[in-house]
């Protein structure tokens, strides 16, 4: 009997693993570590259901990839068994380089390193363990494989990564308006001139997908309370680093001390990185609640007990005087040096675009075989007016 | 114990009737007749699940009204028990004037009469039967009641009628992308200066609502096959009228013969109108499949056996020569007079707007109590470019 | 490109037709007729959403068959392409012999003929039209095909017919408790010794399936109001037959007059039968609302305006005197002969079994390859105590 | 405007908090701590979606309580505003005494103390902080409040606790077959003679509820892999205690050392207990992966990397010789003393009952005001044969 494992998924029903190598990868400790990394960092402070994990998301993206490849093959697109396996492995591992609290602490914990870069380091490490069986997956992941559409399914304006995270995040957060028609979009995918495209009759589904994404950004990912909690989290790590606060986990300490990772050899850094997860950061935060440094303890207590800074969004920048006022009040109230109050009152800009005009395109294939960008079709919802990114200014500060 | 009936509804779970008068209205034969009128006319030929009825839709709209009134009252908006009852009765009966195949045959079967006008005639007839207990419901329905927001809940850009039909039609058709967040929208409703408005944090839900509506129009209501079948239906009635074909039901015959209703007294016409439903039209169509008139029998056989005319959509008008060609070919093939072929090959325009800029507005109430139209908020998705209605040209013709 | 049509289904998402012959069968007028036959007869009088059609149900059962065959093939069960096609055609057509109001009027309209028998007549008629391409489908349908499990998938305690109707009827009626885990059951199916079985770990899903069925019977199919309406429907046909009332549709008249079909040749009867649908019966009922026969008009008005007889369920038989009383009161009130009142006051028994111990078995295949009936496994929920069918007595009578 | 907060919940849509005191309790650090305790301990190792928290479950149970009270009040049951608030607070806090990994480590971490007992200690501590405002909630929680049905809603065979955890656990695990009709059950609740009962027409919903529970026990809560992981977790704590392994968190150390809590004063123990969560245990497990004690490190590595012991279920007890064999093999393989191998190979019994005949009853109120237990109604599914609890024997052992 052929290899076959089934995993229950509330989003898709059942996820089928029918390839022994893929199952071995899933069983690897590096992959299992993703169980201990929240998909949505601090979003669960607003949406209590949003506690799902990076492991679940990458399994879900794998599931969509499996279906996308099936649909394309059904339309006559040539995909060999090896290519299909490579694409499935590449999507399964696309997020494996995420560290504790993923996006929220990206480039904070490991300086100047995007998670994609770290993912590649980890996939290479796994490839060594698996005797080169991940070669083609790496080629697909890095975009050097000749079948460009395979890479586009992993990383593009319409990849299965996005399709899964929008579906899954809206499902677990209970923001039902974020739901997209992933099954219909998958059925509308096609390949033309070697590139991933969408059939003409999928235009409205794509519009809906982009508007759902827009909604999810402002209603969930950049919800003011979520944003505030994640800004606090970043400042906790930075403050701990500045004042040399010690975490209970020695590996986390190493990453807190930037010298510890600056010139590290990747072969040696990868296992260290893979020993960390959200729990290690949260354990440190719980300890630091009683730290002598008032800035650190205030931020940590705020996260642990969900007593967050006050946060306000506005269309325009806040006057500098407002920030100065807030900081002075805090400094006085807590007996802090003026500079330290800046950790507890700060401003910033949240940015999101509904459609990225520069970056990559969503191409529509018409029945007459002509191709247009989704922003160029007749009566397009996605129009040039939307070229500019949406920006919102925010201020966070400790309440009196 | 207070009056209380529960009706299972796959869309909302349970619909509660807790008012004896409302239950009596539901039990009236005029209302029960709506069981025999499809909500979506011929859409079930493409979406086999879309066989739900006008009765179900109006019960659903009543359910949403009940919740909307509850939410508003919870926010301190004053609504008396009598006003609440009136608003609920008005929405329950808003579609009672629909005849066979509702929108598809509107103004075809009863010349020059919109269903809203007929609804008003019927509500007045019921008011007589119910000894004037529907007076305030009529005031709300016609918009003369001083609390304008009650009327806006029944008929406006954001009324519970639309919220129900979008939810219900997407549910039964299986076009899951049409789903709207009706529960969140209801929670975001508010009243300001006597008018219905949406709280600031509901902006993205409203955008999503408008985009879902846009999708439903082009993917379902104006789906080319649905449009074609409904155009055939209209032509069947018109052709029967022209050639004096007889329906098995004498009441239907009367409406086919325009003299029969031209100067009719409403008191006498209402019961006649209320005796008709989709079944009477379909029975006639089944009989006319064997009619001597080839135009009529061809159209009728097409509907009964789902062998529809071929239909094509295009951005630009079709050349007149194409239509002439099609007609000539049909005339030759069927041995028809040239004029008659025009019944089996015709062109037209389908129109829909995502947001009606002229008509009525969706007003957003900001925290600072300022009010803006949804098309005027920062970073609006609904923009001036969309002022023009979307038009698509179509041609339908009998295949060779 | 391979043949491929997609149909939206709110229950399963999308139904795929990837076989040109199957699509041709779907397009045939005999199959299209099923659009005009309610799946659940009069259940919509209680559950307004339950207006779905036999066409939708048989498409759904086809969809489940497609998946079941895929799962079994994935487990190494040998199924040829021809056998798969035959099984899919057989399930698609398993209900094609249903007439107006299907089960409710089964054996009433066409005397002494079960719908399965009529289905076989129709499939044979289609087989002639399709030049024998349905030969193997007929073998599967009648159970003479050597692969017994194919027939068991169509007709058994755990066939895809039941799986679809339970899923679909609970979905459309909104009785969410009737929902079964059809996807998990499909994944648990296996073939052993040529028979359809369920893997050990599917036991709880099967128990759940049987309990859902039990619930659907008593809460929906045999709901007292549904039962009453369907008993009224039966009596309408019988009364019309007795008094020789005429229907507007001549074909229906023929079936009302039993002489008309008694010795009919099947070749000639099949097209006549296929010309009928729910609409023809309802049209007749609407006409008979004004019939001179008070029994007939009373029953017809009751159905049209949903003013049904009063119905009561009880564990024990009703005393004969009660029935006599009711009949006498009705005879007096309506001025009817004593015998005629029996049409408007009657008793009966509703019967349903949770698990049919005699008939067919649900066999569980254990890991050690032993086989037990679901009622014989350890700690079985389905136990010998349940061998007896559940019976409920009912009385229906015209209210005073 | 009245107090009003809304929380998104994927299970119920929106949870409304409309009472300032209840909101304050939710904001208390003791309650917020429940965010860091998994509802289902190790079940997520099999069902990756099952990562929801005790906080989410108790919010959900609160939501159902709110609806249950509304339904009962709508039926004329007298419930004062104060009683309603008390019942809502009691259910909100019913699980507040759960410690790390809740049921899995219950009575392991804090010796001989059930979570209900600890909940009561915590509620009393909160009552002191809230100046006695929780007095009546305590009366309801402990069952001394005269309205017995309020306590039955919190703790009984049909309480809102069970309704929420079955709904929520099946939702997040994706075991859709576990879904119960909580909304219909709530509508069927009634109070008779001061006790909570179910209306006659709710019988099938209750049967379905009990069968869903049965399914959830064996398919999820006692799934062999989940059971094995939780048994490993228990042994990790016990082994750490025996060998005096140290956790990074000093508070956890205190609970590991039983002397630390044996004679503790509650006023002092409660805050210590409340400082702990799943993360502290998992941090310790991660550290102990490298512990010198092979038993401890083997168990810990198994949990962290999801390389669990092999587990087998059987209807009958395993022969003692099998266990001895396994232990000897492990002792040899790992070079362990014979006794220590018992930590890595052990047997046990998993027990669950579908309906607890002794304990508490589900009472059905018939239309004639008679009352019967659900196991005594006509044609009961829940029958005397099921009086015995279902027992399954298991063996877990380290694979070779």
The answer to whether residues D56 and D175 belong to one domain is yes
Nearest CA-CA distance, residue C169 and chain A, Å = 20
Whether residue C259 is found in the same domain as residue C218:
no
CB contact under 8 A, A2 and C187: no
pLDDT of residue A212: 92
* Together in a domain, D370 and D329: no
Residues C209 and C235 in one domain: no
Q: Say whether both C66 and C134 belong to one domain.
A: yes
Question: What subunits make at least 3 CB pairs under 8 angstroms with D?
Answer: A, B, C
Q: Which residues of D72-111 are buried (b: 16+ CB within 10 A; e: fewer)?
A: beeeebebeeebbbbbbbbbbbbbbbbbbbbebbbebbbe
Query: How many residue pairs from chains C and D have C-beta atoms closer than 8 A?
Result: 61
Q: Is the pLDDT of residue D271 over 70?
A: yes
Average pLDDT of every residue of chain D? 93
Judgement on whether residues D229 and D325 belong to the same structural domain of the protein: yes
Mean pLDDT within B316-329: 96
Q: How far apart are the first and last CA of chain D?
A: 67
- A75/C1 touch (CB, cutoff 8 Å), yes or no: yes
B380 compared with C194, residue with greater pLDDT: C194
pLDDT at B206: 93
Of D184, D218, D383, the CB nearest to C204: D218
CA-based Rg of chain C, rounded to a whole angstrom?
23
Nearest neighbour of A14 by CB, restricted to C1, C14, C183: C183
Residue A292: how many CB atoms within 10 A of its CB?
A: 9
Are residue C318 and residue C370 in the same domain, yes or no? no
- A vs B, Cβ pairs < 8 A, gives 61
* Residue B310, pLDDT above cutoff 70: yes
Question: Rounded to a whole number, what is the distance in Å from the CA of B150 to chain A's nearest CA?
Answer: 26
Q: Is A208 exposed, middle or buried (0-12, 13-18, 19+ CB in 10 A)?
A: buried
Q: How far is B17 from chain D (nearest CA, A)?
A: 12
Q: Provide the whole-model pTM.
A: 0.95
Secondary structure letter of residue B308 according to DSSP? P
Q: Do A179 and B180 touch (CB under 8 A)?
A: no
Subunit contact D211:C381, Cβ cutoff 8 A = yes
User: CB A183 to CB C14 under 8 A?
Assistant: yes
The CATH number covering residue A261 comes to 1.10.3210.10
Write the pLDDT tens digit of every residue in B11-45: 999 999 999 999 999 999 999 999 999 999 999 99
Q: Work out whether strand D363-365 and strand D195-199 pair parallel, antiparallel, or are unpaired.
A: parallel
- The predicted model gives B157-163 an average pLDDT of 94
D147 and D37 part of one domain: yes
Q: Supply the CATH number for residue C284's domain.
A: 1.20.1250.30
Task: Specify the pLDDT at position B112.
Answer: 75
Q: Which residue in A184, A207, A386 is closest to B211 by CB distance?
A: A207
Of A11, A174, A286, the CB nearest to D8: A174
> In the prediction, which pLDDT does A393 show?
97
Residue D368 makes CB contacts below 8 A (sequence gap 6+) with: none
Range of the domain at C338: 225-350
Contacts of D75 in chain B (CB under 8 A): 1
CB C48 to CB B29 under 8 A? no
Q: What is the pLDDT of residue A105?
A: 92
Total number of domains in chain D: 2
Beta-carbon separation of D1 and B75 below 8 A: yes
Residues of B in contact with D18 (CB under 8 A): 74
Contacts of B89 (CB under 8 A, 6+ apart): B21, B22, B25, B134, B137
In contact, A156 and A90? CB cutoff 8 Å = no
Q: Which residue of A has its CA nearest to D29?
A: A305
Measured distance CA(C280)–CA(C272) in Å, rounded: 13
Of C208, C354, C385, the CB nearest to D385: C385
Q: What is the pLDDT of residue D190?
A: 96
Do C273 and C161 fall within a single domain? no
Provide the pairing of β-strand C310-314 with C390-397: antiparallel
Sign of the Cα pseudo-torsion (B61, B67, B68, B69, in order):
positive
Q: To the nearest whole angstrom, how far is the Cα of B75 from the nearest Cα of chain D?
A: 6
C77 neighbourhood in chain A, CB within 8 Å: none
- pLDDT (0 to 100) of residue D379: 80
User: pLDDT by residue for chain A (400 residues), tens digit each?
Assistant: 679 899 999 999 999 999 999 999 999 999 999 999 999 999 999 999 999 999 999 999 999 999 999 999 989 999 999 999 999 999 999 999 999 999 999 888 887 788 889 999 999 999 999 999 999 999 999 999 999 999 999 998 899 999 999 999 999 999 988 888 899 999 999 999 999 999 999 999 999 999 999 999 999 999 999 999 999 999 999 999 999 999 999 999 999 987 777 777 888 899 999 999 999 999 999 999 999 999 999 999 999 999 999 999 999 999 999 999 999 999 999 999 989 999 999 999 999 877 776 666 899 999 999 999 988 888 888 776 667 788 999 999 999 8
Q: Are residues D98 and D241 in the same domain?
A: no
Residues D343 and D372 in one domain: no
Question: Which residues in chain C are closer than 8 Å to A1, comparing Cβ atoms?
Answer: 75-76
Residue B100 inside a domain? The answer is yes
Chains B and C form CB pairs within 8 A to the count of 112
Cα torsion at A82, A88, A92, A94 (round to 10°)? 80
Contacts of D183 in chain B (CB under 8 A): 13-14
Partner-chain residue, chosen from B181, B383, B385, that has the shortest CB–CB distance to A177: B181
Residue of B178, B350, B379, B391 to mutate for A, most A C-beta atoms under 10 A: B379
Element (H, E) at A90: helix A81-92
CA nearest to B278 within chain C? C279
Q: What is the pLDDT along chain C (400 residues), one digit of tens a residue?
A: 679 899 999 999 999 999 999 999 999 999 999 999 999 999 999 999 999 999 999 999 999 999 999 999 989 999 999 999 999 999 999 999 999 999 999 888 887 788 889 999 999 999 999 999 999 999 999 999 999 999 999 998 899 999 999 999 999 999 988 888 899 999 999 999 999 999 999 999 999 999 999 999 999 999 999 999 999 999 999 999 999 999 999 999 999 987 767 777 888 899 999 999 999 999 999 999 999 999 999 999 999 999 999 999 999 999 999 999 999 999 999 999 989 999 999 999 999 877 776 666 899 999 999 999 988 888 888 776 666 788 999 999 999 8
Residues forming a β-bridge with A8:
A14
Q: Are the beta carbons of A3 and C75 closer than 8 angstroms?
A: no
Count of H helices and E strands in chain C? 19, 9
Task: Please say whether the beta carbons of D172 and D158 come within 8 A.
Answer: no
Min mean pLDDT across B134-148, B328-342, C367-381, D324-338 is at: C367-381
What is the ipTM for the molecules in this complex?
Answer: 0.95
Q: Which residue, C285, C279, C306, C287, is CA-closest to B279?
A: C279
Q: How is residue C38 written in tokens?
A: 């309610």
Q: Note whether A184 contacts C1, CB cutoff 8 Å.
A: no
- Picking from B179, B214, B386, the nearest residue to A179 by CB comes out as B179
Residue numbers in B near C46 (CB within 8 A)? 8
Most A CBs within 10 Å: which of B381, B386, B388, B393, as the mutation test of the A interface? B381
Report chain A residues whose CB lies below 8 A from the CB of C74: 2, 4, 18
Who's near B63: CB < 8 A, 6+ residues apart? B9, B12, B15, B16, B164
**Count of Cβ atoms closer than 10 Å to residue D307 Cβ:** 14
Q: In terms of CA atoms, which chain C residue is nearest residue D220? A: C204
A16 and A66 in contact (C-beta within 8 Å)?
yes
CB contact under 8 A, B29 and C304: yes
What integer pLDDT is reported at residue C358 of this predicted model? 67
CB contact under 8 A, A176 and B179: yes
Mean pLDDT taken over chain B:
93
The DSSP string of A276-301 is --HHHHHHHHHHHTT-S-HHHHHHHH
Q: What's B37's DSSP letter?
A: S
Between the two ends of chain C, the Cα-to-Cα distance in Å is 67
Same domain, D82 and D202: yes
Map residue B174 onto helix, strand or coil: coil
Residue C29's pLDDT is 98
Tens digit of pLDDT for each residue in B336-364?
A: 998 999 999 999 999 987 777 666 689 99
Facing D48 at nearest CB: one of A53, A174, A275: A53
Distances in Å between the Cα of D307 and the Cα atoms of A35, A123, D21, D397 are 14, 21, 46, 12
């Amino acid at each position: 009997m052929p290899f076959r494992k089934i995993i229950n998924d509330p989003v898709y029903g059942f996820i089928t693993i029918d390839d022994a190598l893929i199952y071995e990868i899933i069983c690897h400790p590096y992959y299992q570590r993703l169980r201990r990394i929240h998909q949505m960092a601090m979003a669960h402070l607003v949406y209590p259901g949003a506690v799902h994990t990076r492991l679940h998301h990458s399994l879900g993206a794998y599931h969509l990839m499996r279906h996308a490849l099936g649909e394309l093959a059904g339309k006559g697109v040539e995909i060999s068994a090896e290519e299909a396996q490579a694409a499935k492995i590449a999507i399964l591992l696309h997020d494996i380089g995420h560290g504790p609290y993923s996006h929220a602490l990206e480039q904070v914990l490991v300086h100047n390193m995007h998670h994609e870069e770290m993912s590649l380091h980890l996939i290479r490490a796994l490839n060594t363990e698996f005797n080169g069986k991940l070669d083609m997956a790496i080629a697909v992941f890095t975009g050097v494989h000749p079948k460009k559409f395979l890479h586009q399914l992993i990383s593009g304006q319409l990849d299965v990564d996005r399709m899964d995270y929008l579906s899954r995040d809206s499902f677990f957060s209970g923001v039902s308006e974020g739901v997209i028609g992933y099954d219909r979009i998958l059925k509308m995918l096609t390949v033309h001139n070697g590139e991933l495209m969408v059939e003409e009759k999928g235009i409205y589904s794509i519009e809906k997908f982009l508007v759902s994404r827009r909604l999810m950004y402002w209603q969930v990912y950049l919800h003011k309370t979520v944003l505030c909690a994640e800004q606090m989290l970043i400042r906790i790590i930075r403050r701990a680093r500045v004042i040399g606060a010690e975490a209970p986990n020695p590996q986390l300490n190493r990453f807190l001390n930037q010298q510890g990772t600056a010139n590290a050899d990747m072969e040696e850094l990868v296992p260290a990185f893979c020993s960390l997860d959200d729990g290690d950061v949260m354990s440190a935060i719980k300890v630091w609640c009683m730290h002598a440094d008032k800035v650190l303890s205030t931020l940590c207590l705020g996260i642990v007990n969900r007593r967050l800074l006050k946060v306000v969004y506005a269309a325009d920048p806040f006057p500098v005087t407002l920030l100065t006022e807030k900081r002075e009040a805090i400094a006085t109230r807590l007996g802090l040096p003026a500079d330290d109050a800046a950790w507890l009152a700060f401003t910033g800009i949240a940015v999101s675009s509904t459609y990225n005009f520069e970056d990559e395109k969503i191409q529509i294939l018409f029945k007459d075989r002509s191709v247009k960008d989704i922003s160029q079709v007749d009566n397009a919802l996605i129009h040039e007016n939307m070229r500019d990114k949406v920006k919102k200014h925010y201020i966070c500060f400790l309440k009196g």
